[in-house]
Amino acid sequence: MNKRIFLSAPHMSGNELKYIEKVFESNYIAPLGEYVNKFEESIKNYTGAPNALAVTSGTAAIHLALRVLGIGAGDDVLASTFTFIGSVNAILYQGANPVFIDSDKESWNLSPKLLNKYLCECEKRPKALIVTHLYGMSADIQKIADICRLHGVYLIEDAAESLGATFDGKHTGTFGDFGIYSFNGNKILTTSGGGMLVSGDRDWIEKAKFYSTQAKEPFIHYEHLEYGYNYRMSNVLAAIGVGQMEVIEERVAKKREIFEWYREFLGDNDEIEFMPELPDSRGNRWLTAMTFAHADHSVIMGALEEANVESRPLWKPMHMQKLFENSKRLVDGTSEELFQKGLCVASSTTMTKEDVKQISTIILENI
Ligand SMILES: Cc1ncc(COP(=O)(O)O)c(C=O)c1O
C-alpha cells in the first residue's frame, strides 16, 4: 500500500468550500455570524439537545461545563480512567482533583458498578462525573445517569468521539447535565478544530456563552465582574461544520460498515476481541478497536506501519500516567489490560473493503 491510510482522515461533504465562500462574501469572518448559529441549530436538531454552544475545542467545552457548574479548587471530580487526556485536563484548569474510575468488560467504558461503589463508600462526595463514550461507543449511560442523580453528582458526558452514537435511541451527550462533542481533525466530523457544548438547561448554556466571550457584562463600554475565556468558534470553521453535518448519518453508516468488514475478515480468530456494543445502543464505531489475547500489539503496529497504515495503542489509562500518580482511583485492572493488549486500526471513511482486507491480512500474519 503506497498511499498512507490514516486512522480517521478528514472527509468533506463537498459543500464546505461553498459555505466558506458565503462567509467571506458576508465578511463575517470573525466569531459570530450566521454559520455559527446554523451549526448550533444542526447539532440541536440532530442530537435532540435543547441548547448548544459552538466553541474552539472539545476541551474548551468541558472547561466551560466545569466552570458553569461552579467546580473549583479542592473539589473532587470523577472521570473515566480509560480515556484521552482531553477529557480531564480541564479538571486541573479548575484546580480540582480528578478521581479515576475503571472500565467494565461489557462496554470497555466506565463501570457503573465501580462508580456506585465509590460513591457509596467515599468520605468526600465528588461534585461531578466526566464519563467518556470511548471510540464512539456508548457507555452504560442510563445506569450511570441514574447513579449520578441518586448521589447528587453532576454528569458531564464526554461525547467528543461519539457524535451519532445512541443509547435506547437517545443521543450520547444528551443524558447528562452537559454533553460535549469535538470536531478535532480526526473525529467523525471535523471543523479543523472545534467543539460543541450542549445542555438541557438554557441558563447554563447562556452562562457558558458569557464565559466563552471574555465574560463581558452587557454594557457598551467594557465592564467585567468575572474572568472569562476566548473560546467561541469562528464563523469560518462553523461553515465547515454545517457542511459536515449534512453527511453525519452517511459517515456513521460507513464507520459501522468498516467495522463489519474487519469483523468479517478477523472475527473468526479466537485471538481477537472487538470493542463491544452494548445492547440497545448504536455506536458510531469512530475507530475500530480490538484486543489480542497473546500477540504483541507493537509487532502488529510495526508491520502496519511498514505498509504505510496508521494504527495506535488503546489509550493509556489516566491512573497509570505519572501526571496523576497521586490522584484517587477505584480501578480493578480492566483498563490496564485493555491498554496492554489493544489497538485501534485504520477506520477512515474513504477506505474500501479491499483496504480493510489488506490490513486484516497483515494483522493475521502477525498474531
Ligand atoms: C475522549 C476525548 N475527550 C476530549 C477530547 C478533546 O477534544 P478537542 O481535541 O476538541 O479539545 C478528545 C479529542 O481530541 C477526545 O477524544
| Per-residue pLDDT tens digits for 156-194 | 999 999 999 999 999 999 999 999 999 999 999 999 999
Q: What is the DSSP letter of 108?
A: S
Q: What is the mean pLDDT of residues 126-154?
A: 98
What pLDDT is recorded for position 30? 75
CA distances from 217 to 36, 96, 358 (A): 21, 27, 58
Give the tens place of pLDDT for each residue, 205-258: 999 999 999 999 988 898 999 999 999 999 999 999 999 999 999 999 999 999
Q: Check residue 79 and give its pLDDT.
A: 99
Q: How far, in Å, from the CA of 225 to the mean position of ligand 1?
A: 30
Name the residue ranges covered by the structural domains of the chain. 16-245, 248-365
Q: Tell me what the mean pLDDT of segment 318-331 comes to.
A: 98
* Structure confidence at residue 326 (pLDDT): 98
Q: Which atom of ligand 1 is nearest to the CA of 83?
A: 1
Q: Report the nearest-CA residue for atom 8 of ligand 1.
A: 58
Residue 244 CA to ligand 1 centre (angstroms): 18
The H or E element that residue 55 is part of is strand 51-55
User: Does 31 have pLDDT greater than 80?
Assistant: no
Q: What secondary structure letter does DSSP report for 276?
A: P
What CATH number has the domain spanning 16-245?
Answer: 3.40.640.10
4/272 Cα distance (integer angstroms): 24
CA of 366 to the centre of ligand 1 (A): 31
DSSP state of 194: -
- pLDDT tens column, 292-306: 999 999 999 999 999
| pLDDT exceeds cutoff 60 at 1 | no
Grouping H, G, I as helix, E, B as strand and the rest as coil, residue 21 is helix
Q: H-helix or E-strand containing 199? A: strand 195-199
Confidence class for position 285, pLDDT limits 50, 70, 90: very high
Per the DSSP assignment, residues forming a β-bridge with 271 are: none
Our mutation pick for probing the ligand 1 site, out of 110, 156, 184, 196, counting the most ligand atoms within 8 A of Cβ, is 184
Confidence grade of residue 33 (pLDDT, cut at 50, 70, 90)? confident
Burial of 306 (0-12, 13-18, 19+ CB in 10 A): exposed
The CATH label, of 3.40.50.300, 3.90.1150.10, 3.40.50.1820, 3.30.70.20, for the domain at 248-365 is 3.90.1150.10
What grid cell was written down for 26?
A: 458576508
The gap from C-alpha 185 to its chain's centroid, in whole angstroms, comes to: 12
Which atom of ligand 1 is nearest the CA belonging to 195?
10
**Residue of 121, 32, 27, 49 lying closest to 78 (CA atoms):** 121
Residue found under cell 475507530: 287
Predicted local confidence at residue 144, as pLDDT: 98
- CA 182 to centroid of ligand 1, rounded, Å: 6
Q: Is 157 in the pocket of ligand 1 (CB under 6 A)?
A: no
Q: How far is the CA of 224 from the centre of ligand 1 (A)?
A: 30
Atom of ligand 1 nearest to the CA of 194: 10
